[in-house]
């Protein structure tokens, strides 16, 4: 099944909005923070890509397996890699939760990559 870039963007946007909407409507960002594992919430200095709680093909036929695999292992992993690089350069040791709570204190690279990692981590737990 060949998908166009437009289909990919539409499906990715839908998934992101659905995940964010459900998370905020269910009880807000506090619940999202609580949905992270203790390891994710308290990890310092080295951020890691959490496994998805479902198979890559679980959303078919709406989002195909390859799209999900690429999104998780390349897109989300890029946020993690870039966050680790920026945190190391800044000598930063903070949990992801604290980083998001105090985002305005950090550089653009840390804010953007930390936010991307946070959004992907908690929305994958729906």
Q: Which domains does the chain have, with CATH numbers?
A: 5-123 (1.10.287.990)
Round to whole Å and give the CA distance between 80 and 57: 23
**Residue located via tokens 């709680």:** 53
Confidence of residue 69 (pLDDT cuts 50, 70, 90): very high
pTM of the model: 0.64
Name which of 61, 62, 80, 83 is nearest 72 in CA terms: 80
Confidence (pLDDT) at 4: 72
pLDDT at 32 over 90: no
pLDDT at 114 over 90: yes
Query: What local confidence, expressed as pLDDT, does residue 20 receive?
Result: 44
> CA dihedral in degrees (85, 88, 94, 100; nearest 10)?
-30
> Distance from CA of residue 88 to its chain's centroid?
19
């Amino acid at each position: 099944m060949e998908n166009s870039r437009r289909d990919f963007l539409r499906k990715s946007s839908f998934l992101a909005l659905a995940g964010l909407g459900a998370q905020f409507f269910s009880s807000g960002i506090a619940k999202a923070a609580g949905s992270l594992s203790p390891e994710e919430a308290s990890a310092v200095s080295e951020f890691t890509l959490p496994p998805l709680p479902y198979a890559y093909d679980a959303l078919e036929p709406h989002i195909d397996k390859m799209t999900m695999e690429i999104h998780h292992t390349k897109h989300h992993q890029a946020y993690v890699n870039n966050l680790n690089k920026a945190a190391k350069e800044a000598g930063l040791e903070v949990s992801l939760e604290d980083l998001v709570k105090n985002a305005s204190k950090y550089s653009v690279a840390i804010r953007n990559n930390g936010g991307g990692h946070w959004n992907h981590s908690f929305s994958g737990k729906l």
